Amino acid sequence: MNRQDQIGLLKRLLHYVDNRTTAMADAPWRNDVSVYTDANHFAREQQVLFRRHPILMGFASEWSEPGAFRTDDYCGVPVMVVRGRDGKLRAFLNVCRHRGAKVAAGCGKARMFACPYHAWTYDLSGKVLGGGASPTSAVFRTCVPSGRRLPSCRCARSMAWCG
């Protein structure tokens, strides 16, 4: 929103406060039933509301100790927020780099995270520690071509915003 639109909106809102009124429509708004039942409409809403903007996972204080973590699944994107041993709050896609399985569930405190399929393990900073294949083997390097970490998300400071 440009600055002129912001100023105009604020003036209109202040007018409503001064006159103890609200913005009233000329007629009631009516939604077609398909708005609530159409799968394509639902998918568009999820894309616009949850995938284009950061999602608030919580306040940073909710992850007070190293190893504190919480997982969630927003619109099909599994996310994990964890406090590292260095005190830094990080957000990752909650998926193993090998087969895509979730490496954590729910919330709690952990020293590391492990994939349930081949026991690939990750430290609190998302770094692969080991697993079904040695980190130095050709199999491992083939399975993790873009790095030896969990895929990361952006995470802010006092509040854990992911996106």
3-state secondary structure (DSSP) of residue 37: helix
Please report the pLDDT score of residue 46 as a whole number: 83
Task: State how far the Cα of 37 lies from the Cα of 125, in Å rounded to an integer.
Answer: 41
Structure tokens at 154: 């952006």
Among candidate residues 150, 89, 147, the one with its CA nearest the CA of residue 122: 150
pTM: 0.67
Please report the pLDDT score of residue 145 as a whole number: 47
Please report the pLDDT score of residue 51 as a whole number: 75
Please report the pLDDT score of residue 140 as a whole number: 57
- CB 66 within 8 Å of CB 87: yes
Residues with Cβ within 8 Å of 105's Cβ and at least 6 positions away in sequence, in order, are: 71
Task: State how far the Cα of 2 lies from the Cα of 45, in Å rounded to an integer.
Answer: 24
Provide the 10 A C-beta neighbour count for residue 61.
10
State which residues of the chain have pLDDT below 70.
132-148, 153-157, 163
